[in-house]
Amino acid sequence: MTRSATRRLAGLLFYAVLALFTAVVLFPFYWLLASSVKTQDQLFTIPPLWVPTAPTLGNFVRLFQGQFPTWFQNSLVVAVATTVIGLTLAALAAYAFSRFPFRGSRTLSTLFLFIQLFPVAVVIIPLFMLWTSLTLTNTYWSLIVTYLVFGLPISTWLLIGFFNAVPVELEEAAMIDGSSRLGALWRVTLPLSLPGLAATAIYVFLLAWNEFFFALTFMNSTEMRTIPVGIESFFAEHSVDWGLVMAGSVVASVPVVVLFGLLSRYFIQGLTSGAVKG
């Protein structure tokens, strides 16, 4: 065999192995999707029904006839509010770190990174007591404010990087034209950092959308549950309604897949920026 033929064969083999591995990794998602469109009888067969014959949306219909729409709304409100407020706070802080070499800025920005290492189990008890004493349990605010903190470190660090990439001269030009500092941030720096803002936004949104631990603890009433807590509560029933659980999980995954699909490049950039550039 010639050398180039060997190389081509090796290349094909590489693709085959990689594709097989990827298929195995993604199979659980296929199985979730396939199971969600099966009837009760089709779920419990030996051997399993690998490709659903006559897929049905029955599980989804039942899901939305229950309390799921409320949970969906709760999750959406909390995640959107966390994203908007979190991005605002992070943008202001990141702007300060990026543009002003003020006293203590290094210590503070490093401190922000360490928050990632903060064990959540340590604060959950006192936080629960705090929200109880402020009668904020079972409110959106208890979750929004909590999620803000866990989104802030990464979003601030990401935005520092993106702001640093915008030349100061552009802001100065805007300020000579009569713009205030915050005006320059709003009209010049933010629009120029739009991809960065988008990456940061999905990061915070997904964090809030996926979170379970705090939501389980702070939301005791059934109608205040977020989607993850709601799905988990299906397991508490005497016999698990797998069709319902699968349909709920699919709905919970849709925004994640859409956002990640649109912005995966920025997401990866965000995930690695702290470790690789820093």
Partner 1 sequence: MSAPAPVVPRGRWVTYRQLYPYLLVAPALCVLALVLLYPFVDGVWISFHEDTLMSQSRPFVGLQNYRTVFAIPQFGMVLRISLTWTLGSVLGEAVLGGAVAVALNRPFRGRGVFRALLLVPWVMPPVVTAVIWRWLYHAEFGVVNQLLEPLGLFPPKENWLGDPNTALWAVIAANVWRGFPFWMTMILAGMQAIDPEIYEAARVDGARGWQLLCYVTLPNLRIVLTITSILSFVGNFNNFTLIYAMTEGGPVDSTKILPIFIWENAFKFTRFGEAAALATFFAVVMAIAILVYARALRLRSRDA
Contact 223, 70 (CB under 8 A): yes
Residues of this chain, 15-44, that bind partner 1 according to CB under 8 A: 15, 18, 21-22, 25-26, 28-29, 31-32, 35, 43-44
* Count of beta carbons in the 10 Å neighbourhood of residue 221: 8
How far is residue 194's CA from residue 196's CA, in Å, rounded to a whole number?
A: 5
Q: Which residue has the tokens 């799921």?
A: 68
Give Dmax over CA atoms of the chain in angstroms: 78
Question: Quick check: 150 and 81 in contact, CB under 8 A?
Answer: no
Q: State the nearest-atom distance from the C-beta of 149 to partner 1, in Å.
A: 4
Amino acid type, 87: L
Exactly one of 1, 121, 221, 239 binds partner 1 (CB under 8 A); that residue is 121
Residues 175-194 that bind partner 1 (CB under 8 A): 176, 181
- Per CB under 8 A, which of residues 42..101 are in contact with partner 1? 43-48, 88-90, 92-93, 95-97, 99-100
User: Least Å distance between CB 57 and partner 1?
Assistant: 19
Pull the structure tokens for residue 196.
């960065």
Residue span 146-175 as binding mask against partner 1, x where in contact by CB under 8 A, dash where not: x-xx--x---x-------------------
Binders of partner 1 in range 209-268 (CB under 8 A)? 209-210, 212-213, 216-217, 227-229, 231-232, 235, 242, 245-246, 248-249, 252-253, 256-257, 260-261, 264-265, 267-268
Torsion angle defined by CA atoms of residues 27, 28, 29 and 32, in that order, rounded to the nearest 10 degrees = 120
276 lines the binding site for partner 1 (CB under 8 A): yes
To the nearest whole angstrom, how small is the minimum distance from the Cβ of residue 2 to partner 1? 21
CA angle 125, 129, 131 (to 5 degrees): 115
